[in-house]
Homo-oligomer: A and B are copies of this chain.
Amino acid sequence: MEKEDQLLRPVIQSRNQAVQRIKESQQQFIFVASLLDRIPNIAGLARTCEVFKAAGLAVSDASIIHDKQFQLISVTAEKWVPIIEVPVFSLKVFRKEKKREGFSILGLEQTANSVPLDQYSFPRKTVLVLGREKEGIPVDIIHALDACVEIPQLGIIRSLNVHVSGAIALWEYTRQQRSKQL
């Protein structure tokens, strides 16, 4: 047994090191998609999270990853991006937990006090809450956020798809983190 232990140790160590490396290379950015209804949007976000190495994607029901439509769009992204189950009624608890871990809790929403995306400096530890497809983020949740950012929209219809909005925000976060590293 002792010999087996000795043989196993390097394997376990190298696995732990690999897990550590993955964690270190992750960006400290978490999407909260618990308010979203449409599977293509949530699956699309999983894929986008993987591309930008987000630290997690919170969804209202984690069993969504077994859905055929989800799998078709996410193209296995859910195997690489931690999917966190946060039902809408648990959002407040999740917010408190993440605050304790040093995250800023932001919303992507057009409000009277929203900061335009290109004038906002993202904290390294960011949780970004996305709104429902039609109604956006409910007012009581907005009040619990540290800040809201919005994508300056120049047109007339004034509505970007929520996956696209989220992707633009995650890109802007990524761009800012990269510019700090240069």
A: residues with CB less than 8 A from B are: 25, 27, 44, 47-48, 50-53, 75-77, 80, 117-118, 151-161, 163-164, 167-168, 171-172, 174-175, 178-179
Contacts and interface: CB of A to CB of B under 8 A. Distances in A.
B118 A157 contact: no
A174 B172 CA distance: 12
Contact of A152 (B47, B164, B167, B174): B174
A154 B174 CA distance: 10
Contact of A160 (B47, B117, B151): B47
B53 A161 contact: no
A48 B80 contact: no
Contacts of A50: 155-157
Contacts of A48: 160-161, 164
Contacts of A161: 44, 47-48
Nearest to A161: B44
B179 A47 contact: no
